[in-house]
Amino acid sequence: MIENEQSCLALNNVPNTIAVSGGGKNVTWMKAGWLARKNVGYWGDVDSEGFSILSDARNKLSSITPLMMDELTVETFVGRMVSEPDSVSKGPVALTDKELALFKGLRADHYADRRLEQERLPIEYVVKNIEVWIV
């Protein structure tokens, strides 16, 4: 699942993969039983909204894997971050300890800004990370 439709369209064909985007915060479809037997990833913006959607998705499908939503990605591309004026006020409940620490770090202004939008990542970085994930 890809948060941003623009980022989804930028991906080339990835074998044996279906990319779903443009659903916004609607993750109710992730309760579908057949998804439990699939390798499902979520690539969202590294910001409070992205982590909130990841948390909601994980509540529906506990095995979901976040892609490029980690501290290494933020630190690598800190210069590409932008402000996040309308931040989620309540902390997401279904995050790992590392995800929650990054969420709190973003909220506490530990980085250049509070949002790393997925479309700001170089396509080479995206392709490399997706290729590693699907193997």
Biggest CA–CA distance in the chain, Å, is 40
Instruction: Please give the pLDDT value at position 96.
Output: 96
Query: Any idea where the domains of the chain sit in the sequence?
Result: 5-134
97: pLDDT strictly greater than 80:
yes
DSSP symbols for 68-115: S-SHHHHHHTGGG-B--SS---SPPSS--HHHHHHHHHHHTT-SSSSB
Across the range 124-134, mean pLDDT stands at 90
4: pLDDT strictly greater than 80:
no
- Between CA 68 and CA 33, with CA 28 as vertex, the angle to 5 degrees is 90
Q: What is the pLDDT of residues 8-50, one digit of tens each?
A: 776 667 777 777 787 778 888 888 889 888 889 999 999 999 9
State if pTM tops 0.85.
yes
Query: 126: helix, coil or strand?
Result: helix
